[in-house]
Structure 1
Amino acid sequence: MRPSGGMVGQKRRGSIMNWWWHGGTKEARINQELGRTSSTRGGSNDELVDCSADGTSRWRGTSSSGNGSRSSQGRSNPPPIRYREGQFDYYPAVLCDCRRKAARWISWSEDNPSRRYLTCARARDGGCTFWSWYEPETTPYLRQVLNDLHNVVRGLKEEKSILRASLVSARAQIDELTAVHNGDVADWTRKLKEKDDLACELRARVVQLEEGRKLLLLIVAGLASLIIMQNPESIVY
């Protein structure tokens, strides 16, 4: 029977604890049970990124409102490191309050970097409110090292994205210049062909005129011979 209020800790297999809560923020409830105080920023707890094997993520922001209500934000942000395991690839299985195997996610918050936790696989589709850390909290030194590494990875990914965008822009410019160059070459080729055709036409015209000149000379020579033959006394010696 589902309890009507508060959160009841339940022992599960190994050292994993399953928690049931009503109202308030989930992380604040877990922090109370672990004997530590959750850090808040601007009245909100750390946002947890749910990362699955396909590299997608879901950010959850839980606000600490006075009436104990909770809200979630659905903005997406890629995790710094790709999750190499599926959300159900762990053993022994931990059952949520729906009696189904709980899904395992990764927190990318600054207070819990790379720390895994469990939720109901159908929490956003009518499932239960089960939520629990999968492993204990790390040391402050390792937490800082992980955050530094995550920042480096994020910075490298941003630089990679910028370089890719620059490469795409450069390729587009090269394609544009190539198209213009190809168009110019085609235009030059067309004009050169027109000039070649004109030169061929002029050469043919010259040959035709030369043949006409030779024919004209033959006609003139024939007429002159005919005149001489008809009037031999007109020849001056």
Structure 2
Amino acid sequence: MVRGGNVVATSQFTAWTPNNVGRRFNKCSMPKEQKCKFWEWVDDELPLRVTTLISNLKNENEALIRERNLLLMKVVEIESVLAGDVAKIEYFKELDNVKRRQ
């Protein structure tokens, strides 16, 4: 990006603050020791209704991700218990087979 006759290396980001949720902006992407103070909005300010909707959807998505992760942990626990139960069943079947052969 060119600003004031100078080329500025920028990166684009998305704001997640309550007042600017989902709004994109550019800022200098140089390392800290070379960073300039360049910063500008890409998007116009969004209506309150839109920022509220985006914020609510983001919160709902985060809650669903947390719920999914908890369910995945429960699946791992259940699979572990079932694997142990299957091993016990196999052990007792083998023990029963040994007794029958005697």
| TM-score relative to the length of structure 1 | 0.38
Contact map agreement 1:96 1:119 (CA 8 A) in 2: no
The CA deviation string for residues 58-84 of structure 1, in whole angstroms up to 9 with x for no partner, is: xxxxxxxxxxxxxxxxxxxxxxxxxxx
Query: Percent of aligned positions with the same letter in both sequences?
Result: 17
1:127 and 2:34 aligned: yes
Matches of 2:58 and 2:15, distance apart in 1:
12
The match for 1:117 is 25
Partner of 1:170: 78
Matched with 1:188 is 96
Higher helix proportion: 2
Larger Rg: 1
Q: Greater RCO between the two (CA within 8 Å, min separation 6)? A: 2
Cα distance in 2 for partners of 1:95, 1:128 equals 15
Q: Give aligned pairs, total.
A: 100
Kept after mapping to 1: 8 A contact 2:9/2:30: no
Q: CA deviation at 1:95?
A: 4.8
Q: For 1:143, what is the secondary structure of its paired residue?
A: helix
Q: Distance in 2 between matches of 1:95 and 1:173?
A: 62
Cross-structure match for 1:104: 12
> Within 5 Å, which residues of 2 pair with 1:149-228?
149-193=57-101, 195=102
| Aligned CA distance change for structure 1 residues 113 and 191 (closer, same or farther; 3 Å) | same
For 1:122 and 1:180, the matched residues in 2 are separated by: 61
- How far is the alpha carbon of 1:139 from its aligned partner? 1.0
Relative to the length of structure 2, the TM-score reads: 0.80
**Structure 1 CA distance for aligned equivalents of residues 84 and 34 of structure 2:** 54
Superposition CA RMSD, Å: 2.3
Structure 1 stretches of 5 or more lacking a match?
A: 1-93, 196-237
